[in-house]
Amino acid sequence: MTCTNLPYAVSQIQQISNGREVELNQAQGLSEGQLQNGGALKSDLTMALLYSLKADEVYLRWAKQLETACNFGSQPNAGADDARASTYKMLFARLWNPIASLYGAARFGGHHVADG
């Protein structure tokens, strides 16, 4: 690994983190009464985004540290947050995909939106 192009990497991670925060805020404001299992859907989606954001923040702090002093000795430890995010993504997908199939909406593949 080298420390080239770190300002760009930091910028990209920051952009992803900012976008995820917007998504989390939008998810927290969703109405849950119109869909079957709406409360659970909203909760699982919100938790998936929350833990993804926490992991993003760990990676961002690490990238900023590298930008300041190029030292790869301490790797980021976002594994627990990544694992929790994945769990909630899977829970969300189990509830969402049957609804998506009914309405022709995009299905969720656990880690990303899948084509219907």
pTM for this predicted structure: 0.86
Tokens read off for 102: 């009914």
Tens of pLDDT, residue by residue over 23-73, are 999 999 999 988 889 999 999 999 999 999 999 999 999 888 888 887 776
Domain map (residue ranges) of the chain: 6-114
Tens of pLDDT, residue by residue over 5-14, are 889 999 999 9
Decide if 30 contacts 64 (C-beta within 8 A): no
Q: 60, 28, 57, 67: which is closest to 45 by C-alpha? A: 28
Q: What is the SS3 assignment for 45?
A: helix
